[in-house]
């Protein structure tokens, strides 16, 4: 499970996805659920905290896209 703790317009929110691929697929939608610049406070994949080089939704997307290859 992917758990994303992020900040949207100053409000802390949490999103859950069954898999990282589900999150990646959602970001390809014409209107994705997250904007790339949203700050990611913490992301966990199967209980493990991810060490993101860039703590944004865009950074998370890039991290997961390169890890799943």
Q: For 31-44, what is each residue's pLDDT tens digit?
A: 999 999 999 999 99
Residue 48: the pLDDT is 97
Q: Where are the domains of the chain?
A: 2-67
Across the strands, what pairs with 13? Answer: 6
CA–CA distance from 61 to each of 9, 64 (Å)?
19, 5
Asked if 23 and 67 touch (Cβ cutoff 8 Å), the reply is no
User: Which residues of the chain carry a pLDDT beneath 70?
Assistant: 68-69
pTM reported for the whole predicted model: 0.93
In terms of Cβ atoms closer than 10 Å to its own Cβ (0-12, 13-18, 19+), residue 38 is: middle
Fold of the 2-67 domain: Dna Ligase; domain 1 (3.30.1490)
């Amino acid at each position: 499970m992917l758990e994303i703790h992020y900040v949207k317009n100053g409000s802390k929110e949490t999103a859950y996805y069954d898999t990282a691929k589900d999150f990646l697929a959602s970001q390809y939608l014409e209107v994705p659920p997250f904007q790339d610049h949203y700050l990611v406070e913490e992301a966990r994949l199967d209980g493990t905290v991810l060490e993101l080089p860039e703590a944004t939704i865009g950074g998370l997307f890039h991290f997961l896209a390169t890890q799943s290859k």
